[in-house]
Structure 1
Amino acid sequence: MQWLTMLYFYHRSLNINPFTPTILSFFVFNSLLQIGDGLCSIPWTSHWWHGERQILISDNHWSHFGECVQKNDDHFFLFKSNISRLTCFRCVFPSLVHENVLQYKTTKCISDREMSLEKCREKLSGDAPMETLFRVDGKAEKCPLSTPLNFTYQNAQGICASRTSNIQKCVNEKRLKIQYEACPELPNTEAAGIEIECIGWWESLGWKFLASRLIQSAKKKASHRCIILDGDNSKGRLGISADSSCHELTHLSAASTLISYRIDTELVSNCDFPEQFDKMDWIAASTTHKHQFRGGEWTSSHSSKRHSQRLCLTETAQSSRSMEMLGNDNEPINQIIRFFRVHVTDGCTVGYQCVKMTEILSTVIQIEFGIVSPNEFESCGEEMIVIQRETIVHHKAQTNCPSRGLHFIPSCSFPVFESGCTNRQHFHLRKTCQQESEKITCLATWMEGNQVFLLAKQNHHSIQCLLLTGTRVRSFPLTPCHSQSIQFTHPALDFTTTNAETCTTGLFAGFLSSSFTAIPFKTFTFLIFFMFLL
């Protein structure tokens, strides 16, 4: 009836009989209805995390408060729900402090059927907790902290001041790694690291706040932390909430963990990687990541996203040796072996690492990675413990294919492996006798003893390592082309050829090797007969 009362007084103000229908009254009546329809819309429609569970806020409904029945701008809302035949009203006072963070206070359930927004506002308790919601699909943003930071910390168990912990930025600048060191004065503590993703920061009452998402959490059960900041880029204090509720984190003393930090010196490279590696793109055989060397900085990326970064600190050793290996021109290869101590940021793993780089060819580098350690001065040489191997190849590499000719197996009348017949830098490989062959480009090849290693690529697909031992052919997709890596890897393709023919010219050779498409036996017989007639 409220709109009728408003319409009545509106007509009286214009000295119009309130019961006389006019065009103006029609439009006023219609507009009032429209305002009433959208009077209690909620602007923050989305799925939100509330603690460890998701809630939904729709146009006029808040999943655990019910339907919105009245509001004052976007500052105060009155919600109504029915619980076990009981009508429940709640007053909610929300504040969108960041696009990804919604905070609110609310009254308890009120079962007064005559409840209004004005009456409900009076029911809010001064000590009502501040609740925090985090947008489920909230996008991460660059973290506001300058790193690296050294810190000491304090929690419910006591103060850890005898050991220095640290905060490092991950390769992704929207993430941080907080590494807590164990303390002798806190016997129940262990060294532990947590990785967080920054999803929003804001200022309130002179404090800076940061909302973060724990990276280790599963998407269906996200976990968040609120952080309160007091300080600047050089020194200050951080307070971290105990859980996702962020209850009453309005001052540092309410934090579960209190950190006192100072900025640390940022590392810079002290040496350069070899000049011949510089300003060229290299592709990893096992991951297809792109590797780039720029002076003393070495980065790997995938789909334009940086995956790791290494800074050259020292070149600890360099040697060369002539191996029983043959390169593209059947000349012995003089390997150059280098050891580098680097500082690595791989995802959120940060530390020091020994790296062995062996230059197989001018277009191929074998890399062996040591363990990542917090200790800068661990030995770096032949005694290093290898935890990972990789082969990187120059992105424009191409070479003549080895084992030129047509290679057959008993079960197939067509060659399963044709190398360098139609093009010296291409070969065709048939996985089964029934399948059409695949055209593959040879990138680089070398010999170790009686084994021929071949890096090859099919169109824009991933790189594969092929191992040719006598008449045996094995294929290892997405595998470092390294003898020790292949030794423990099951090949995707493994066959032994029984006979081989040389590449020939003319109609018969083109028929055999140009496309390798299976042709019916009758057609084959007819073509042979036709050739003899000619």
Structure 2
Amino acid sequence: MILTVISKIISRKGWCHFPSRWEGTWFQSGVRTPIIISEDRLSTKGRCIASDGGDKFLVVDDMFRVDADPVPCPFAGAFTFSYNRGHGECTTPPSSVESCTQDSRLLLRYQACPDVYGSESTVEELLCLATWKEGSSRYLVGKVHHSHATSNEDRYRCFVYEKSQTNPPLGPMLPSPGVTLVPSETTVDFRVAQSGDATCNGLFSPMEGSRTMALRKAPSPIKCSFPSWLTAHSRWHTLDYRRSYQFHARNTTLRISNASTPDDSAPPPPFPPPPPPAVGSGTDGADRNVGPGGHHRGNSVHHRGRHQQLLQQVAASPLSSPQDAEMRVVCSEAVEVTGDFARLVTHVTMGCHSGFVCMTFYKRDSHVIEVQAGSYTHRPEEACQPSHFDEAALPFVTLVSEGHGVRKRRNTCNDEEDFTSLAVGCGSSDTMEFRSACTRADLISAYSCHGGWEDNGTHFLITTPLSRTSHGARRLCFIYREGGPGSGGVIHFSSSPDSCRRNVLPGVEGALAFNVTNVGQCMEMSSASKTAIHKLLSLIGPLLLLLLMSR
């Protein structure tokens, strides 16, 4: 919220209050301490003691609410742009605007031009706080983060902008003293001028400002769709339900978000987050990379190396929290797609950080998929190369479709009591039951089976606990492998509550770890259930009917 009037008061029985919508903490350029508006007081400026009862406004100062809620930025999507800081337009190489997962944030990557004094390689992050229209002009107030910003005086900036309609060439204009002009272009989508301080003073036209920009729409990274077998279910979950994967927009966009679990901390990202962009100087007239006459301060190789070092430097921005941010994934290139396998180059945005990532999806069952994802790169052709995607070393993320499986409630023994046997397909054709000699019942825990598969001799089975405490696992992956020759038919079991991990040693590691041996078939079994059990056993191996377990 931007306050440009401070003397409108409301009268009631001889006393007055400032409007309630003004109450809060404000920042004013040139004033070191925050300004607080509360009831009839305006911080150090005074107290309201009288009112004429009218609707009169006296424009005194521009103030920006410190804790203002952000608003959607007026520029949606990706852009390239040229800019001018008073010494000529910097067009080559082009600078860029990247969208963030939050529509109230933008990332501006400025490039340095060899022949333009005052141009620089830097990255700024813009948080949009307010927009309004005044006459024919549209205004934006935002908070710009960069490494040299040490106070609100450095961070708050005002912008005036216009959206080009037919993009006609601009006629000749004479600039005012001390301001710059955007040169004529026929492909400009937005023209923007930025203030040089934390006010909107003297900012009347997008053609004049401390820094002017000409924005052009960039090509969309969306060039393919996710396969139909993957989008047949629009929403998927990790086994622990801490992350959801949802497909949108004609199956070209996937959004990965944290589930609202108040008792849990934020889950780790499904793949390593991109390195945050180094947020550069961004201050007017400081840290210039190009000297007078267009001469670099150093050779071009050194300059390119410095820019790459800036972009790779891990310097977290207070405006972003990528570990908690939603991730937007769009399909950029289909490298290989079959009926149960898809390798795609995707463009991933997390917070205000983005890049290209190679992702591989595996269809394990009609309701179960797995995902592998590589590391970030700014070049799509490098995403699926071994340097960024090492299939043998990457972990798997196991996902189940939303709403699959009906949970039932069963009476259980004490959760801490040891179980001694495992029954598969005896009570129901699609359940596994851990049994114990407890006093209240002989059933300690039951699991409904959803699907399974085999990978290099190791079997994986996705289950849902039919009886669990409020803090128990929502889903479990059972990982098991048959013992070698001479093991006496022992099968080694482990379980994982979040994903089907390949680095778990069955029978030794995992949330549960145990070994089982076959002791016979169920005592009573109808012919109908025999058929169902046969299907279940085809998933988990022919030895599992009634199994004696040791922990």
Same fold (TM over 0.5): yes
Is 1:360 matched with 2:360? no
Partner of 2:460: helix, strand, or coil?
Answer: strand
Distance between the aligned counterparts of 2:480 and 2:33, measured in 1? 56
Corresponding residue of 1:483: 502
Maintained 8 Å contact 1:366/1:391: yes
Does the CA-based 8 Å contact 1:239-1:257 persist in structure 2? Answer: yes
Does residue 250 in structure 1 map to residue 203 in structure 2? yes
Partner of residue 468, structure 1 = 480
Aligned to 2:107: 177
Change (3 A) 1:154 1:495: same
Q: Distance in 2 between matches of 1:190 and 1:469?
A: 59
1:134 and 2:65 aligned? yes
User: Does the CA-based 8 Å contact 2:231-2:251 persist in structure 1?
Assistant: no
* Deviations 1:258-301 (CA, angstroms, capped at 9, x unpaired): 322223344553x4432322342342427431332765513225
Residue matched to 1:445: 452
Question: What RMSD over aligned residues (CA atoms) do the two structures have, in Å?
Answer: 4.7
**Equivalent of residue 25 in structure 2, options 35, 44, 48:** 48
| Structure 1 residue 464, shift from structure 2 partner | 4.0
Q: Distance in 1 between matches of 2:140 and 2:218?
A: 21
Describe the superposition over 1:410-446 as per-residue Cα deviations: whole angstroms up to 9, x where unpaired.
x955448665543343446799x99995554433222
What SS is found at the alignment partner of 2:243?
A: coil
Aligned counterparts of 2:341 and 2:232: Cα–Cα separation in 1: 20
Contact 1:176/1:348 (8 A) holds in 2: yes
The correspondence for 2:428, drawn from 388, 399, 423, is 423
Q: Deviations over 1:105-132 (max 9, x none)?
A: 2xxxxxxxxxxxxxxxxxxxxxxxx332
- Report deviation, 1:379: 6.1
> TM-score, structure 1 length as denominator?
0.58
SS of the equivalent of 2:226 reads: coil
Look at both structures and tell me which one has the larger radius of gyration over its CA atoms: 1
Q: What's 1:59 paired with?
A: 39
Task: For residue 483 of structure 1, give the secondary structure of its aligned residue in structure 2.
Answer: coil
Structure-1 residue corresponding to 2:245: 290
Letter in 2 for 1:340: L
Q: How many residues are aligned here?
A: 388
Are the structure 2 counterparts of residues 390 and 49 from structure 1 closer, same or farther at C-alpha, using a change threshold of 3 Å? farther
Work out whether 1:68 is the aligned partner of 2:48: yes
Alignment of structure 1 residues 42-441 onto 2, 5 Å: 42-50=19-27, 55-72=35-52, 73=54, 75=56, 93=58, 105=60, 130-134=61-65, 136=67, 138-155=68-85, 160-184=90-114, 191-204=121-134, 206-213=136-143, 224-232=156-164, 234-241=188-195, 245-246=198-199, 248=201, 250-251=203-204, 255-269=209-223, 271-285=224-238, 287-292=242-247, 296-302=251-257, 307-318=326-337, 336-378=340-382, 380=384, 384-385=388-389, 389-395=396-402, 397=404, 412-415=417-420, 420-427=425-432, 437=444, 439-441=446-448
5+ long unaligned stretches in structure 1:
1-33, 77-92, 95-104, 106-129, 320-334, 400-408, 507-534
Residues in 2 aligned to 1:483 and 1:388: alpha-carbon distance in whole angstroms = 7
What per-residue deviation string (whole Å, max 9, x for no partner) do you get for residues 474-531 of structure 1? 33333x42426x68xx97624334777667569xxxxxxxxxxxxxxxxxxxxxxxxx
Partner Cα separation in structure 1 for residue 389 and residue 450 of structure 2 = 30
Alpha-carbon distance between aligned partners in 2 of 1:184 and 1:373, rounded to the nearest angstrom: 26
Inter-partner Cα distance in structure 1 for 2:372 and 2:33? 44
> Which runs of no fewer than 5 residues in structure 2 stay unpaired?
1-10, 166-187, 261-324, 407-414, 483-490, 525-551
Residues of 1 paired with 2:189 and 2:474: CA distance? 47
2:375 touches 2:383 (CA, 8 Å); kept in 1?
no
Contact 1:446 1:453 in 2 (8 A): yes
- Cα distance between partner residues in 2 of 1:284 and 1:216: 37
Contact kept, 8 Å, 1:425 with 1:441, in 2: the verdict is yes
* Deviations 1:382-415 (CA, angstroms, capped at 9, x unpaired): 664357753333335569xxxxxxxxx9x95544
Map Cα deviations across residues 353-407 of structure 1 (whole Å, 9 max, x no partner).
Answer: 33223333343333222334333443636664357753333335569xxxxxxxx
Q: Cα gap change, 1:199/1:502 in structure 2, threshold over 3 Å: closer, same or farther?
A: farther
Mapped pair 1:35 → 2:12: yes
User: Residues 310 and 343 of structure 1 are in contact (CA less than 8 Å); yes or no, is this contact kept in structure 2?
Assistant: yes
- Summarize the Cα distance change of 1:318–1:246 in structure 2 as closer, same or farther, 3 Å threshold: same
How far 1:58 sits from its partner (Å)?
A: 1.8
Higher relative contact order (CA 8 A, sep 6+): 2
Give the TM-score normalised by structure 2: 0.56
CA distance in 2, matches of 1:454, 1:504: 21
CA contact (8 A) 2:396 2:500 kept: no
Separation of aligned partners in 2, 1:185 and 1:416 = 78
- Which whole-Å CA distance do the structure 1 matches of 2:358 and 2:38 have between them? 54
Kept in 2, the 8 Å contact 1:339–1:381? The answer is no
Contact 1:443 1:454 in 2 (8 A): yes
Percent identity reads 18
Query: Quick one: distance in 1 between partners of 2:519 and 2:509?
Result: 25
Q: From the superposition, tell whether residues 337 and 68 of structure 1 become closer, same or farther in structure 2 (CA, over 3 Å).
A: same
Measured in 2, the distance between the counterparts of 1:313 and 1:434 equals 59
Alpha-carbon offset, residue 239 of structure 1: 2.9
Residues 215, 280 of structure 1: CA spacing in aligned structure 2 closer, same or farther, 3 A cutoff? farther
**Could you report, residue by residue, the CA deviation over 1:446-489 in whole angstroms, capped at 9, with x for unpaired residues?**
223443323334479644433234555433333x42426x68xx
Tell whether 2:450 aligns with 1:495. no
SS at match of 2:12: helix
Aligned residue type for 1:314: E
